[in-house]
Structure 1
Amino acid sequence: MTGETLRLMAVHAHPDDESSKGAATTARYAAEGVEVLVVTCTGGERGDVLNPSFAVPEGHGFESLEDKRAVRRLEMAAAAEALGVQQRWLGFVDSGLPEGDPLPPLPDGCFALLPLEEATAPLVELVREFRPHVMTTYDPSGGYPHPDHIRCHEVSVEAYHAAGDPERYVVEGGAAPWEPLKLYYNHGFSMARLRAAHEAMEGAGLESPFGDWIESRTAREIPEREVTTRVEVADFFDRRDAALVAHASQIDPGGFFFAVPRDIEVDVWSTEEFELADSRVPTSTPEDDLFAGVRKES
């Protein structure tokens, strides 16, 4: 790989996911000269307003799916600028998070209901166009059971394996096949991370928001996925935070993502974690670099 610019593609379900999952990592690599492309599968049109102080931008509405899509695009552009990354849309429609018992059906035409090949085709073409060495996405559970997150995992894995095959997803005049070298799953708030933050906050005499969450996850015996790769990103938490608040309709500046004081976070959990799902280059775990095995010493 000596002399070639490294490229990283991070595939996410909705605008704002790129700012809450691996954001400081993408900011770090972008700052180091890696070409970083965030791919957003849907427009986030069915996301609820989660920020009580949100005000609809002047000149915009927020009633229809089209209105919401336009606002989310503004937010995404600001977040991408904060992270220093490129960003592309796949153009699919948010499926929403069904709630109730029984769960209501998903809306017609949404991302999660599309046939897998139809949902994957534009991502395959984008992989061939951008030619990433490394891709990141969600684990098979989606990280949590949102239908778009699960479908994001499915299309990302399908694209990772299919993009290098000239017999699959053939597009006349399309980009040449390209085979990414590594695939990772993002890890979010692991139990180890929650406990470290919880204990540090209580030790500092602060009220921790994580006690009930830890108890709930412990009671449900949710299995922890393997962490293979920890990327040091403390110097890029500010860029992650700027990207988060750029999503003003979704992120409460006084809410969950900002509950842990940054000095405590840097002290107890200065990394972002990933799970190596597949590698076409020799590497050994644990790693501290998504490009381990891709970079070669000159």
Structure 2
Amino acid sequence: MAVHAHPDDESSKGAATAARYAAEGAEVLVLTCTGGERGDVLNPAFEVPAGHEFESLAGKRAVRRLEMAAAAQALGVQQHWLGFVDSGLPEGDPLPPLPDDAFARLPLDVAAAPVVEAVRRFRPHVITTYDPSGGYPHPDHIYTHTVSMEAWEAAGDASRYVVGGGAEPWTPLKLYYGHGFSLARLRAVHEAMEGQGLESPFGSWIESRAAREIPERQVTTRVRVDQYFPQRDAALVAHASQIDPDGFFFAVPRDVEADVWPWEEYELAASRVPTHPGEDDLFAGIRGTEAAR
């Protein structure tokens, strides 16, 4: 189960991993906390689909649902909406308050309840989510971390989050934070592109992170996924309102990426099974055990 803040996050963060495990026969579910209603249009070539409008929150939500369905199909995964409203990314100094209906303003028990219910119904062995920073300071990403951790702790406790429908308590076994753009990855790809005389999109990013002395989070697990870059890319393109097919996500030639960085990276944040350093599989310690049944 991959818990994400907005539609398109599942395609830009851990998408090839999801596609790999789905292709290998695992059940993979993407939980999408919000409808992405307050996301800006980031693709200059985007055209609103026929029969839709993109001016209202409801109109944007409907289009983003179409995009999400196409992305999920490209990855071969299941997907479930939690139905919360995008908080938007506040900008300004001082920052404005979040909208009254924002996901990140909800009480924890309200926001986490459907995540707990989804865990109990889907019964995942592994959950992936964001680290405490959210990966970047969007309030929905930070709150997605918070509700994911609450579900990790509460889903197996029958006394907490008593919901209807008969979903029995379920205790997941491993929880990971996904790391999409580690400094090691940025440098490896940057140096490879410069070595081939190509313009790298990462030079200023590396310099900025180094100057700000942003600490690197620990990477415990690298999952090889280069065979699934096509599925990831198809899912990205499906989010036509958010992803520019001529933009940042496609600036690195795929043969260069596959040669120098064929992995997606994760940090094992919690485990209820024995683990070992240098994992290359999110299901390490679970496969072939009684717990996997």
* Equivalent position of 2:7 in the other structure: 15
Q: 2:195 aligns with which of 196, 200, 203?
A: 203
Residue type at the aligned position of 2:65: R
Aligned twin of 2:265: 273
1:183 to 152, 160, 175: 175
Tell me which of 135, 138, 154 is aligned to 1:146. Answer: 138
Deviations 1:238-296 (A, max 9, x none): 00000000000000001111111000000000000000000001111210000000112
SS of equivalent residue, structure 1 residue 100: coil
What SS does the corresponding residue of 2:28 show, helix, strand or coil? strand
Residue type at the aligned position of 2:45: S
Alignment partners' CA distance in 1, 2:166 and 2:5: 24
- Give 1:297 shift: 6.4
Q: Does 1:246 align with 2:238?
A: yes
Is the contact made by 1:125 and 1:174 (CA closer than 8 Å) also made in structure 2? no
1:14-93 paired onto structure 2 within 5 Å: 14-93=6-85
Q: Return the match for 1:167 from 136, 145, 159.
A: 159
Per-residue CA distance 1:22-72 (angstroms, 9 max, x = gap): 000000000000000000000000000000000000110000000000000
**In 2: Cα distance, 1:23 partner to 1:54 partner:** 22
Secondary structure of the 2:175 match is strand
User: 2:12 is matched by which residue type in structure 1?
Assistant: S
The match for 2:223 among 217, 220, 231 is 231
1:140-188, CA deviations, whole angstroms, 9 ceiling, x for partnerless residues? 0000000000000000010011000000001244300000000000001
Residue 184 of structure 1: SS of its match in structure 2?
strand
* Deviations, residues 111-168 of structure 1 (Å, cap 9, x unaligned): 0000011000011011000000000000000000000000000000100110000000
Which secondary structure state, in structure 2, belongs to the residue aligned with residue 242 of structure 1? helix
Quick one: percent identity of the two aligned structures?
Answer: 80
Cα distance in 2 between the residues matched to 1:124 and 1:70? 25
Report SS of the residue matched to 2:127. strand
Which residue identity does 1:260 align to in structure 2? V
Following the alignment from structure 2 to structure 1, what is the Cα–Cα distance between the partners of residues 164 and 224? 42
The 5 Å alignment of 1:114-153 reads: 114-153=106-145
Report the Cα distance in structure 1 between the residues aligned to 2:113 and 2:143, rounded to whole angstroms: 13
Aligned counterparts, 1:256-267, within 5 A: 256-267=248-259
Whole-Å Cα distance in 1 between the matches of residues 45 and 259 of structure 2? 30
- Give the secondary-structure state (helix, strand or coil) at the position aligned to 1:35: coil
RMSD: 0.9
Whether contact under 8 Å (1:231, 1:271) holds in the other structure is yes
Q: Counterpart of 2:268 in 1: which secondary structure?
A: strand
Which letter maps to 1:19? S
Residue 104 of structure 1 is matched in structure 2 by: 96
Using the alignment, how far apart are the partners of 1:202 and 1:178 within structure 2? Answer: 49
Q: Unaligned stretches of 5+ in structure 1? A: 1-8
For 2:130 and 2:21, how far apart are their aligned partners in 1?
A: 19
Distance 2:114 2:190 in 1: 42
Whole-Å separation in 2 of the counterparts to 1:217 and 1:152: 24
Alignment gaps of 5+ in structure 2: none
Aligned AA for 2:208?
Answer: S
State how far apart, in whole Å, the 2-side matches of 1:165 and 1:179 are.
8
